[in-house]
Each structure stands twice: as structure tokens, then as C-alpha cells.
Amino acid sequence: GDSVTQMEGPVTLSEEAFLTINCTYTATGYPSLFWYVQYPGEGLQLLLKATKADDKGSNKGFEATYRKETTSFHLEKGSVQVSDSAVYFCALIMQAGTALIFGKGTTLSVSS
């Protein structure tokens, strides 16, 4: 079935370091792809999304590009801040589907 695989965490970085969190997907069709972020004690917030191949989603300095050839949607940020410490989830929705399918989440911890 359709699924999302993301890199195991935790990821520990110093402030201003470069961030990459890998995400790959398996899908029978052409899904829309999402990154959600969960701050401690809160619900999930949509960080960015891409709906078709080669689309780049971006928000708050984070970027991810929908790569159909490698079935990937890696999350990147050029310079992380302590406030970026959270759990990041990669997810997909199939075109005719309505349920988000999530990866297991990657915990990011940024220290000053």
C-alpha cells in the first residue's frame, strides 16, 4: 500500500546549522506531499506542501521539492533556530483519497 518513510531521529544540531530530513514515499498514483510540524504539547501544523512533480513548497525558511523520479520530498532549511525544535512529519494524500498517510516523524533538537 501507499506509505511514507522518513529518516530516524533524533536529529541534533547547533543553531545556524543546515538541516535535511529525508522523506521518500511509495504510492500507486500521484500523491500530494506535505510536511507537518508538531511543537511540544501541540497539534500538527502544516509547514509546506507540493501537489505535483517538481513543485517546491516553502515556508518559514523551510523548503522541499517534489521529486517524482526519486519519489522523495526532503525537507531542508539553511539555518536552523532553537525555536525549530519539534517533531517533523512527512505525509501524503492520494489524488482520490482523503486520509493523510504519515511517516513516523523525526525529532529535531536545536541547541544554542
Residues that bind another protein (CB under 8 A): 32, 36, 42-46, 49, 51, 89, 93, 95-105
- Please state, in angstroms and rounded to a whole number, the distance separating the CA atoms of residues 77 and 25: 20
Residues 6+ apart with CB under 8 A from 53: 30, 66, 67, 68
- Closest approach, Cβ 21 to another protein, in A, equals 16
- Closest approach, Cβ 78 to another protein, in A, equals 25
- Closest approach, Cβ 39 to another protein, in A, equals 11
Place of cell 519539534: 86
- Which residue, 71 or 102, is less far from another protein as judged by CB? 102
Place of cell 529525508: 22
46 neighbors 53 (Cβ within 8 angstroms): no
- Which residue, 70 or 96, is less far from another protein as judged by CB? 96
- Which residue, 4 or 110, is less far from another protein as judged by CB? 4
